[in-house]
Structures are given as structure tokens and as C-alpha cells.
Structure 1
Amino acid sequence: MQLRHLREAERHVAEGERHIADQEERIAVMDRAGHETQLALELLATYQTALASHIAHRDLIIYEISRRS
């Protein structure tokens, strides 16, 4: 069961990393085109916060698995 949770947490981390990369690219395109990027930057910060939570959760699962082994 914990391995299933670990796989799911790893998937969340990977998705979060993709969201951040995509958003950074969107911001760069918007910036080059001279568009306002404040809301896009705020969304990027939200993605970064969520990724940090996903990483912490994944690390906790890894710790629990290693503790029980």
C-alpha cells in the first residue's frame, strides 16, 4: 500500500514540475510579447508552493517506508 502511495506522490511531483516548466514558458512568451505577467507569476508561485508540498509528502512516505524496513 505504501508503495502505491509513493508512486502516486512521485506522479504528483512530476506533474508539478511539468506545470512549473509550462508556466515559466508561458511567462517568457508573455513577457517577450509585452503582456502583463503579474497573474501568471502568481500562478507560478502557487504551483511552486504545491510542488514543495508534494515533495514533502513524497519524502515523508519514503521516510516511513525506510523506517519500517
Structure 2
Amino acid sequence: VPDIYKAMIDGEANASVELTPNMAGPAFDALEKYKKDGTMPEKLTLTKSTLYLPDTAKEELEKKKNMGY
């Protein structure tokens, strides 16, 4: 993960998108509702995603450098 921030700092990348891995909860909720009473789930479930740009790459690298990547 830190490599993308280094690439943005070096001008080798324009952006990075961090997608949330938290889809299990909404998926199980939809499955339970469907099994209970046949309620069809929403066609689209939105979760938080974050766009990182080069102007904040140094700050983000500093925040994430000790996260064990």
C-alpha cells in the first residue's frame, strides 16, 4: 500500500482509490431479508471509498507507514 503513495510523490501515479472491504454485513443483511420474506435486495449497495491524490500523498504515507504493510 505505501508504494502507491511513493509513486504519487514521485509523479509516477495520478491517484489511488481505497475501497472498503465491509461488504459482508450488507450482503448478509440482504440474504437474511430475502430468506425471511422474499424481500429483494437493492440493486446497488454503496459503501465508502476514498480517492487519494498526489497533493496529500505525503500525509497519507506518513499515516499508513506503520500499519504493517
Higher share of residues assigned strand? 2
Q: What's the TM-score once normalised by structure 1's chain length? A: 0.36
Q: What's the TM-score once normalised by structure 2's chain length? A: 0.36
Higher share of residues assigned helix? 1
Find the structure with the greater CA-based Rg.
2
